[in-house]
Structure 1
């Protein structure tokens, strides 16, 4: 009985560790640049809630990549500032929504979709109001979505100020691992990709029928999983890059609380559904299930330490060392893979001298995980834009 318990504990942490290691190893190498393809007309849909201070820069960056046949539509959602007026002054089409009982980006997107139904373009690109497309990202993403008849997620990364604190830098690096490296690895494993909320393109028929309205804290992740379960394709384009500035340390913790509580809840809901669908002849969904079963890195580390300690005690008293060694091996593989990612992609984000701050980063995130047990976040809260 004790042996079975030990191997169950190993599986709970060891399988996510091995999946993380494989994705990092496959995703750490650069992607091959694809030839440019002329995209069909597209609309950039920007949901915005009280974004008057930053939306002008986003609209200007978007309009630099538009042709006469392309559009930019801003949904000013429950705004109490001059977001709508600023967007109009910058040359965007604007619709305003006021419904304080139904707040969040999912409802804003559904409202924008209703406006687009009068004159839809072949491709719809969703962009957050604090997110900047890098050069050529919008037409590249539109062409990819049209060419594959699939939803396509661009590479969404955070940028930090030169004086960013070590904790913010760890968050930026974790974001890179999740949004670039693991997405690339997942796609190379045949599992497709996850949607991440901004810099994502849809063919109009798919967007028109998509289940947008939801109270989920991670409506983008949920949408991508629902599309996959419905038999639609979700792809990743690592060369269509979108960036947002990382928030200050206090705001970063609030943002991570929303993301990680929502992700853990979604994992519990969708892993069984994906496994069941994979057993019905869709093996790629098993790979996707393994990906979303990987908890946030700090949570994974904080789970591994007590389980290793427990397995060590059991090994001392029973002489059964195999489970402990298996878990340590999985942890070593994941650590080595993350170090490879850091060496190739992360040294400028996270200088080696800051490595000693890693335990502090894990401790900084522990309150987020404690709240999962009894005070889980359930309401959408806009992330602060203060640097």
Structure 2
């Protein structure tokens, strides 16, 4: 009876892992086999309010605001929420021509509360479109205009391409982290877009019609307030669309410890949403027969890349142990299938988005990268919930756009 139960558990775990990885495989295959769908924004440019949450961002705020201001027109607004700042963020933002809202609340800390305060401030004279850009990001030329028009055309939230790169003058994370970021925020949503499916919101580089704005959906204290907001809108019938022509770019944290801290916060937030929203999404999708919600559920179920790799390797090791002890190879067959699907997805992603980043030198760093991910998982298993803390930023002010490595799909 015990052996039968173990066999069933390993088989079930392998099946779940195959189903989860199939979502990633579908997105990677779409990027290889399909072309971008045409997206023709409206010729009329709607009014825009660019909302920039900032916590101690004196090193980056001026460059960020300069990029945004290039595309603003008469009647647009540029609002910086200086949230619990102890530096010159507010004064520098004002000097750069932004409207500044100073927020001080040591109890309700985090980006979500800053965004909620900014949205309530904008409500007196609301724009047609709200554009969200983090204070350490720079948007490409005409990006504001493109996002605003795309959002007005779709009448739905729009997420642009969101790239994060390693600063060339710091000892930050390796190219493996940059590759994983490309997969999550470029390859996967663009694969879905080529299939006509929605995407998650990433918190920066997103545009939302004012009619869909609800500050209370941000003021939750959630570690992944951006994905939370997008999922809530999707459940209400307004899933986000991916728009690759606009792009925001930023640097990874300045130090390895800062990167680990940031990674831990993202992983904890993502896994928390899997627990809280995956059942809701599946229930709504099945109840309403909504393929869009089902696609978002499949996307949400895919954990961070490192975690998915670890899960496949652990399951394979357990199946091999079961074969050696019991002599049954059926769990091994299932786990091998899961690993094969994951390998196909990863190789496809590398071919489409990683050939300029990943070589033999980067492959040698894989064990170290996975060890960092494993430590993050263990902290979550100990219920050590990461609080929102600003990660270290690069100490230099070199324009981020100068060092971006672009991919061709």
Q: For this structure pair, what is the TM-score category when the shorter chain's length is used for normalisation?
A: over 0.9
1: distance between equivalents of 2:359 and 2:365?
11
User: How far off is 1:13 after superposition?
Assistant: 2.0
> 1:53-88 CA deviation, whole Å, 9 max, x = no partner?
110000011111111232211111111111111001
| Residues 1:333 and 2:341 are matched in the alignment | yes
> 1:8-37 CA deviation, whole Å, 9 max, x = no partner?
111232222222111112135663564454
Partner of 1:134: 140
2: distance between equivalents of 1:361 and 1:372?
17
Partner of 1:354: 362
Partner of 1:9: 13
Q: Paired residue for 1:267, among 252, 274, 298?
A: 274
User: How far off is 1:102 after superposition?
Assistant: 0.6
1: distance between equivalents of 2:230 and 2:31?
20
SS in 1 for 2:30: helix
Partner of 1:25: 29
The residue correspondences of 1:1-387 to structure 2 (distance < 5 A) are: 1-2=4-5, 3-28=7-32, 31=36, 34-35=39-40, 37-38=42-43, 39-162=45-168, 167-208=173-214, 211-247=217-253, 248-281=255-288, 282-386=290-394
TM-score by length of 1: 0.94
SS in 1 for 2:364: helix
1:149–1:203 Cα contact (<8 Å) kept: yes
User: How far off is 1:283 after superposition?
Assistant: 3.3
1:168–1:246 Cα contact (<8 Å) kept: no
> 1:329-364 CA deviation, whole Å, 9 max, x = no partner?
232232223222222322223334321211221112
1: distance between equivalents of 2:292 and 2:8?
29
1: distance between equivalents of 2:14 and 2:170?
36
1:168–1:249 Cα contact (<8 Å) kept: no
Greater mean deviation of Cα atoms: 80-89 or 18-27: 18-27
User: How far off is 1:219 after superposition?
Assistant: 0.5
2: distance between equivalents of 1:167 and 1:321?
39
User: How far off is 1:255 after superposition?
Assistant: 0.4
1: distance between equivalents of 2:104 and 2:173?
36
2: distance between equivalents of 1:18 and 1:321?
23
Change in CA separation of 1:209 and 1:231 when aligned onto 2, cut-off 3 Å? farther
2:223–2:387 Cα contact (<8 Å) kept: yes
SS in 1 for 2:174: helix
1: distance between equivalents of 2:308 and 2:40?
39
1: distance between equivalents of 2:358 and 2:168?
11
Change in CA separation of 1:296 and 1:227 when aligned onto 2, cut-off 3 Å? same
1: distance between equivalents of 2:125 and 2:207?
17
2:170–2:394 Cα contact (<8 Å) kept: no
SS in 2 for 1:154: strand
2:36–2:194 Cα contact (<8 Å) kept: no
SS in 1 for 2:86: coil
1:166–1:354 Cα contact (<8 Å) kept: no
User: How far off is 1:294 after superposition?
Assistant: 1.1
SS in 2 for 1:192: coil
User: How far off is 1:112 after superposition?
Assistant: 0.8
1:257–1:377 Cα contact (<8 Å) kept: no
Query: How many residues are aligned here?
Result: 387
Q: Which runs of 5+ in 2 are unaligned?
A: 396-409
SS in 2 for 1:280: helix
2:116–2:215 Cα contact (<8 Å) kept: no
TM-score by length of 2: 0.89
